[in-house]
Structure 1
Amino acid sequence: MIRLLILLLLLAAPARAEDSLRLVLPEGRPVVGEMIRLTVRGEYDGFIALEDMTFPDSAAYDWMQLLPDDWRDERVNGVQRRVFERQIAIFPRKPGNLVIGPVSHHLTKAEGATRREIVVEAPPVTIAIGPYPAPGLPLVARNLKVTDELSDDPAHIRDDQTIHRRITITAENTMAHLLPPRPDLREKWLISFTSPEKRETRLTEKGPLAFVEWEWSLRPITGEQGTLPPIRFSWFDLAKREMRGSITQPVIFGYGQLGANIGGSTGAVSRWSLIGVVAAGAALALGLALRGQGLRVPDWRRWLPNPHSGALRKAAAEGDLLELRRVALEYAGHEKRFGRAVDPASLRRLDASIFAAEGNDLDRAAFLRELSGR
């Protein structure tokens, strides 16, 4: 009778559940680049003294942990368990069947004075990933916002004034490296100096928030009106499940009287240009005549003086860096047309000095030597 009573008590007692770990995926069919919120859930028995779990990297997805690990006591199927949950954001890189896992959780359990190490493994899960619904780099987000700020009105720019432009993009439920690359603001009538890019992913209560900021210092170098065209940013809207886009407004530069415009060259430059053209024409005519006689003629243009040399030295002596850059570009263009080398690093250093925050620090004598190779 006693044995039967013990057997009945054992049968009536709840069975001791085994430790388990699994990966929980949401419903739906995500597209490439879309954030998938994955939950790693463990249900354990006993006292856990130490634990370690590393989520696996893969060439098929990017990932990040969204929240700190959550440990709590919970009754599961009538049994008190120690529950573990980790929230992971997965960003698939290509369409097709995405396999995630397996994931292993290394546990150290304390049982009285002894400790026991075990490994609990979650089997892999598979989710179908749809293609990104547009050409180009995928960008899937929610509440994407583009701001375009100017330090002043470029339509009424003053002589020698620099306009600072800042474009910022913020987007929910994506990562910073998935945001677009920096736009190119190069124009023939404009010099631009780019500040270092700021790009980061911030964790919020709603999930990851991607952020990128670009900044340029812009200065026109001609007296003509110019326009920076609109910039379009496209993305797949998670709320509406459709493609959307944001377009910046065109930036129109209007000028007063720029002293250093294309048509404002000095008389000395014009005279030297005329002399250079006449000399080049004479050399060319002589060369053609000799070639008509079957003779090989060297390219005499290489020995012709650069007609912009005088204006270059004058601009360097006066210290007007904007005028110096204009003349230096004319000088460099002439040198290249006549097959002579020009140091591009010297022009880059000149641009950096133009936009230097603490004023002009350019060694103008060294600049002339570097540009002319002497």
Structure 2
Amino acid sequence: MIALTIRGEYTGAITLEDMTFPDSAAYDWIQISPDEWKDERIEGKLRRTFQRHIAIFAKQSGSLAIGPVTHMLTKAETNARAQVPVTAKAVSINVAPYPAPGRPLAASTLAVTDELSGDPARIRDDQTIQRRITLTAQGSMGHLLPPRPDLREPWLISFAAPEKRETRLTQDGPVAFVQWEWSLRPITGEQGALPPMRFSWFDTGKREMRGAIMPPIPFGYGKLAENVGGMAQAPALARWSSMAAVLAGFLMPLLVLLRSRRFPALSRLKAALHRLRPNPALTDLREAARGQDLLALRRSVEKYLGHEASVSPTQNLALHRLDTALFAKEPHDFDRDAFLAEITRSRGR
């Protein structure tokens, strides 16, 4: 942050005034306090003084030009009013390069908090834990703080609340604030850990790079019987694998023959053959859709989509609506029949 003070010393009666600080592609700026007008005696003469405090944030290194700044005054003369422009010349400031790779973040202080609504190492079955990370940087602006981290793990579903990002004005200058919140719930029964996070920033007081590190967060075991890597599903998977191998033995020669003849509808035939191949998770998905446990439905649809060749935009949208209902704080209407139809539509079921 570059602190800039614009000061004017005037004589005579001023009835109106207007000053517009110039915008620039080379910097961001914000006025950090109200304008100050007062009477002062300067070198024995009474003057009307004006002060405006601006915080400037350079977007790049090198010579930074600020201004000129014009203060348009309306002064009362004997029998009339006159407009008097007062202009301060442009100034240049040399901005040093940011001393590290990545997105620049400079502040006098950076505070990071990581809050959890429960102990993830002792999480119960079907329990949801809220995680909230808050960054507060003194002497910066909200849009200069880093973007939201991505919390995605194959054993976890996460639902992100809208972030809160703003610049707060205080007596000590601007303060950048951002807050992220997720609802986290393991779904596979596996033990896992969220990776550590590091937020690097330049300390403008000590003139050195510093880092705030969030340690990894381990999650305990859930339902071991439903562990995707466990043996509970092995017989069923073995049966379906055998059926798939037999079916492939009949279809592969046909596909080779069609490809050798440059069959024009090969892609359509492949899609039709995919729809004929049974999805081993379809039965469980239908049973879960008839129940009331949305988390069980979420597990079933994950298994179902894992056996599909691709996930369509319609299926992604349906999955998003399920997550919204799953993490809603209030009771949320959810049409299970419509959801099942959207998820299985690509197979014509």
- Are residues 1:103 and 2:69 paired? yes
| Cα offsets for 1:274-297 (capped at 9, x unmatched) | 454333222321233456776778
Q: CA deviation at 1:301?
A: 3.9
Kindly provide the amino acid, as one letter, of the partner of residue 111 in structure 1.
E
Alpha-carbon distance between aligned partners in 2 of 1:180 and 1:291, rounded to the nearest angstrom:
50
- Tell me the equivalent position of 2:244: 280
- Mean CA deviation greater in 105-114 or 56-65: 105-114
Is residue 188–residue 223 contact of structure 2 (8 Å, CA) maintained in 1? no
- Tell me the equivalent position of 1:311: 284
Q: CA deviation at 1:270?
A: 5.2
- Tell me the equivalent position of 1:354: 326
Q: CA deviation at 1:324?
A: 1.1
Kindly provide the amino acid, as one letter, of the partner of residue 30 in structure 2.
M
User: Identity of counterpart residues, as a percentage?
Assistant: 57
Alpha-carbon distance between aligned partners in 2 of 1:164 and 1:329, rounded to the nearest angstrom:
22
Correspondence list, 1:121-140, <5 A: 121-140=87-106
- Tell me the equivalent position of 1:371: 343
Secondary structure of 2:307's partner? helix
Secondary structure of 2:102's partner? coil
- Are residues 1:159 and 2:132 paired? no
Q: CA deviation at 1:331?
A: 1.2
- Tell me the equivalent position of 1:31: none
Secondary structure of 1:145's partner? strand
With the length of structure 2 as denominator, give the TM-score of the two structures: 0.90
Secondary structure of 1:135's partner? coil
Is residue 336–residue 342 contact of structure 1 (8 Å, CA) maintained in 2? no
| Cα offsets for 1:66-96 (capped at 9, x unmatched) | 1111111122233221111111111111011
Correspondence list, 1:1-374, <5 A: 35-257=1-223, 260-262=226-228, 271=236, 273-290=237-254, 298-299=269-270, 300-336=273-309, 343-373=315-345, 374=348
Secondary structure of 1:288's partner? helix
Is residue 226–residue 232 contact of structure 2 (8 Å, CA) maintained in 1? no
User: Aligned in 2, Cα 1:266/1:321: closer, same or farther, shift over 3 Å?
Assistant: farther
Question: What value does the CA root-mean-square deviation take over the aligned residues?
Answer: 2.3
Alpha-carbon distance between aligned partners in 2 of 1:223 and 1:128, rounded to the nearest angstrom:
56
Kindly provide the amino acid, as one letter, of the partner of residue 159 in structure 2.
F
User: Aligned in 2, Cα 1:308/1:183: closer, same or farther, shift over 3 Å?
Assistant: same
User: Aligned in 2, Cα 1:73/1:262: closer, same or farther, shift over 3 Å?
Assistant: same
Is residue 72–residue 84 contact of structure 1 (8 Å, CA) maintained in 2? yes
Secondary structure of 2:306's partner? helix
Structure 1 residue ranges without an equivalent (≥5): 1-34
Secondary structure of 1:336's partner? coil
Structure 2 residue ranges without an equivalent (≥5): none
What is the count of residue pairs matched by the alignment?
A: 337
With the length of structure 1 as denominator, give the TM-score of the two structures: 0.84
